[in-house]
Amino acid sequence: MTLLAVASLAAASACGSGAPSPRADGASSTVSLDFWGWAPGYDRSVALWNRSHPNIKVTFSKVPSGGGGGYAKMQNAAKAGNAPCLAQVGNESLPTFVVTDALTDISPYANAGKEQFVDWAWKQAGFGNRVFGIPVDTGPTALFYRKDLFAKYGLTVPKTWDQFAAEAKKFHAAAPANFLINAPVDSYDLAGYTWQAGGHWYGTANDQWQVTIDSPETHKVAQYWQGLLDGKLVKAGVTPLDTAWFKEVKDGHIASVITAVWAAPLIETNLPSLSGKWAVAPMPQWTAGEQSAGNNGGSVTAVLKGCAHPKEAAEFATWFSTNADSLDNLIENTGIYPAAKSGLELPAVDRPSAYFGGQNIYEVFRTAARNTPTSWTWGPTMTQVESDFVDGMKRAANGEGTISDAVEAVQAKTLAALRSQGLAVAG
């Protein structure tokens, strides 16, 4: 079955979460919408909505992150017919929800607001003429670095990947426990670097999926990081932004991370003692003078299968992503880079950060967003891709193969996974 065929099935799905209460005049009383997600700050925007929209009540319930079990919970609920109307779904996972028939087409209610959003972010929320959610944010990436450690060890903020490798060597030479950065650990790390390099992992043509995870650009990225691994210049076995990583950073043993804008509040919350010691710079470039960036993250407020109120769900989701008060909250507490054009004009994305030493870090991410290739497409088996890449990266970190080996293995496993689902695949 092709993706387009599955999308058609999703559009025809019945809608049922949150049944309306009939009134004597035949109209409905307050509509209730359940909303599942995990991002910090989402509950605050929901509270803002409820204060100003008494006829549509939204109840936010925090669930584990998508990869931590949240997506499985959502999909199981959709299959059982008791899913919430609304769910936080990452752009990378939306195609999976489509092919598993877990979404409702809201295009009749959403398309009128299309022009409010950055074009490529809107395209991430659907397929063809079908829309399954409203974009919330994108994830432009940059280099977060400990400027105090850079000063202490005489490091230069690298403008190219060759310079980055040189600074990694210098930092590690100063002390055996010092690593400029962690090694890539999963598909999202590798995807972001490949995205910056101009590569693609998926495409569609003639109603078939095209899979190019093993593209020349991916192998270029893999070989670069393999070189740093072989030279023992990057920290292996540590996942960015987890407990062990925060400890290494606090102890001064890891000096940087390349990740998306949404990491800023996580760093600030988990490392309060390092206030004023961080800065943000553009990603290193493959060719000096370029400004290309990758993307890591971005999400939509999706409408799940079985929603009895898709019109009201679309109304809330659009407000959530475009209302100035909601966006101010999400920028401050969730660290989003808004997908709504109006959000990019708010003062909240143009003010200095005390934690980052008075730097306006959004200037860096604004430039990154403008220089992020916009043709990237995600595929429908990212759960499998992520699992296989995590395994492959661990093996490479342990010297049991290379990152390029992992790339080749994931390519083959992804083709097999698509075909096992009855999806048409080119080649």
Instruction: For 253-311, give the DSSP string.
Output: SB-EEEEETTHHHHHHHH-GGGTTSEEEEPPPBSSTT-----EEEEEEEEEBTEES-HH
- Residue 370 resides in a domain: no
Same domain, 151 and 271: yes
Task: Please check whether residues 23 and 150 belong to one and the same domain.
Answer: no
**DSSP single-letter state for residue 332:** I
Domain boundary among 365, 389, 412: 365
Same structural domain, 258 and 335: no
Q: Give me the pLDDT at residue 28, please.
A: 54
We report the CATH number of the domain holding residue 414 as 3.40.190.10
Q: Do 100 and 49 share a structural domain?
A: yes
Cβ atoms of 191 and 201 within 8 Å: the answer is yes
In a domain, 13, yes or no: yes
The pLDDT score that the predictor gives to residue 12 is: 38
> Would you say residue 371 lies in a domain?
no
Total tally of structural domains belonging to the chain: 2
Q: pLDDT 10s per residue in the chain (427 long)?
A: 444 444 443 433 333 344 443 433 344 589 999 999 999 999 999 999 999 999 999 999 999 999 899 999 999 999 999 999 999 999 999 999 999 999 999 999 999 999 999 999 999 999 888 999 999 999 999 999 999 999 999 999 999 999 999 999 999 999 999 999 999 999 999 999 999 999 999 998 888 999 999 999 999 999 999 999 999 999 999 999 999 999 999 999 999 999 999 999 999 999 999 999 999 999 999 999 999 999 999 999 999 999 999 999 999 999 999 999 999 999 999 999 999 999 999 999 999 999 999 999 999 999 999 999 999 999 999 999 999 999 999 999 999 999 999 999 999 999 999 999 999 999 7
Out of 345, 365, 385, a domain closes at 365
d(CA 388, CA 382): 10
Q: Is 425 part of a structural domain of the chain? A: no
In eight-state DSSP terms, residue 241 is T
Same-domain status, 92 and 119: yes
CA distance 79 to 59: 21
Q: Are residues 155 and 37 in the same domain?
A: no
Q: Verify that 147 and 214 share a domain, yes or no.
A: yes
CA–CA distance, 259 with 39 (Å, rounded to integer): 17
pTM reported for the whole predicted model: 0.91
| Dist CA 409 CA 52 (whole Å) | 52
Residues 404 and 275 in one domain: yes
Burial 227-253 (b: 16+ CB within 10 A, else e): ebbeeebbbbebebeeeebbebbeebb
End-to-end CA distance of the chain: 16
Same domain flag for 261 and 340: no
- Would you give the DSSP letter of residue 204? E
Residues 270 and 301 in one domain: no
In a shared domain, residues 168 and 77: no
The reply to whether 256 and 271 lie within a common domain is: yes
End of a domain among 365, 385, 403? 365
Q: Do the Cβ atoms of 212 and 414 come closer than 8 Å? A: no
- The CA distances from residue 308 to 22, 81, 253, 304, in Å, are 14, 11, 52, 10
Domain region containing 21 = 3-139+297-365
| Under 8 Å between Cβ of 189 and 220 | no
Q: Does residue 253 lie in a domain region?
A: yes
Assess contact for 349 and 366: CB atoms under 8 A.
Answer: yes
Residue 202 placed within a domain: yes
